[in-house]
Amino acid sequence: MANRQRVWGLAKRLQATLTQLDGVSCQRSALGTWFETMPDGPDQNMPEAEMSVSFVDTAAVSFISGFNMIDEHERSHALGYQHGNAMLRISLPLDEPIQGWELAIDLSGIKGIAAVQSDGKLTSWAGESAGLPRWRLKEAQGVSAVKAEFDTLKLVSISRDRLPNQENWLNNCIWYPEEPKEGLLFNGSRGDKPRPKYNYPVTTVFFGESDGRYLSQLSEIVVWVFDICHVVGVEFHFTDSSYNRQLGYVGPFDENYPARRNFSDSHDSTVSFTIDGPSGEQLSSIEVQTKGTYVVGLKIRSNLDRSIQTPDYTYGTDKGWVTVHGKGSQIIGMFASLVRIHVASKSFGFVSMH
């Protein structure tokens, strides 16, 4: 009986989802794509005044199912599945074309969208965005064509006419919990260029907003080590505890921690590094050692030539130590690519500014 009730509940949810699709087809409109034969001449930016975003409900989760670009002459250009009773509107600036979009995503679909304005700022969000990984599709030129891809229910991909700079970290990574501002420099254990594809979110932590304004108050760095050797989180303590930050996951680690213990003598530990921020001491470099997709060794060094190191990893590593410095003149934060939301992998490094 319990199984029948469970199956009946699932069937009712499926019916509710399918009911939303009655009489709704996947629309497309001649916004223009780079696959079509077009007359020679300069691309024309789309003078859009408003963007309407439709949603489809799947159980307790809503995903974007389509959108409708409304131009300055109130002409409609629809893409995807349009649900008039589940629609939100984003007002767009008439005097300047948008430069792209920022998406809030999870493993199953796109849950929120905002347009990127010419000054780099976002419009209001349509849909859910808080606490979700973000991905930005932006280029300096305005958008003149759009390509969107859909499954049987929802939007799964959106592209624009000009391919964004693939060496730009902001365009090439999924960010969690939000995307950093433009103009920052990244250098990690895999170099200062983003990988061709990031399958996991890149998380950042800043020593005071995104300009390092609290660097002079940094007092301690605590590295959390799981299962003998796996570096899974770093805490940053400040003289004013309200500024405290963390990157990754911090313990204590119980049975709910989303990683498996591999060693029979498994234990966890922390390594503390006191920093005299008020006297001008700052981070100057880290050294990273990896095994598979995990960081198994970490050395932290300050500009006063003081350093700490996590416990030695004695089970064999993929490579030796990789030294990472800030690419800019001042280190203002750190970043890591996360295998799970709270487990640091080998892409690990500094955020800096000129």
What integer is the mean pLDDT of 190-204? 78
What's residue 301's pLDDT?
A: 96
- In this predicted structure, the answer to whether residue 119 has a pLDDT above a threshold of 70 is yes
Query: What 8-state DSSP symbol labels residue 211?
Result: T
Q: Residue holding tokens 């960010």?
A: 175
- Reported as a single tens digit per residue, the pLDDT across 327-345 is 998 999 999 887 765 556 6
Amino acid at 169: W
3-class SS of residue 2: helix
pLDDT in tens, 32-43: 443 444 444 445
- pTM of the entire predicted model: 0.77
Domain spanning 2-164: CATH superfamily: Jacalin-like lectin domain (2.100.10.30)
Cα–Cα distance for residue pair 266/287, rounded to 1 Å: 24
What's the pLDDT at 342? 52
pLDDT at 40 (0 to 100) = 46
The amino acid present at 193, given as its one-letter code, is: K
DSSP of 142-174, one letter per residue? PP--EEEEE-SSSEEEEEESSPP-TT-HHHHSE
Let me know if 121 is exposed, middle or buried by CB neighbors in 10 A (0-12, 13-18, 19+): exposed
CA gap 290, 305 in Å, rounded: 23
The pair of three-digit structure tokens given for residue 283, joined into one six-digit string: 């981070």
Beta-sheet pairing, 174-176 with 202-206? parallel
- Start-to-end CA distance of the chain, whole Å, equals 66
Give the model's confidence band at 125: pLDDT under 50 very low, under 70 low, under 90 confident, else very high: very high
| pLDDT number for residue 148 | 80
- CATH pick for 185-256+263-353 out of 3.40.605.10, 1.10.287.130, 2.100.10.30, 3.40.462.20: 2.100.10.30
pLDDT of residue 179: 84
CA 281 to chain centre: 30
For residue 124 the two structure tokens come to: 């209001």
138 in Cβ contact with 117 (< 8 Å):
no
Contact 152, 20 (CB under 8 A): no
Residue span(s) of the chain under CATH 2.100.10.30 come to 2-164, 185-256+263-353
A 10 A CB-CB count for 19 gives: 8
Exposed / middle / buried, residue 243 (Cβ in 10 Å: 0-12, 13-18, 19+) = middle
Spell out a b/e string for 168-205, using b for 16 or more CB atoms within 10 Å of the CB, else e: ebbbbbbbbebbbeeebbbbbbbebebeeebebbbbbb
Express each pLDDT in 8-63 by its tens digit. Answer: 555 555 555 556 556 566 666 544 443 444 444 445 555 567 889 999 888 778 89
Residue 128: predicted pLDDT: 92
Give residue 36's pLDDT.
Answer: 45
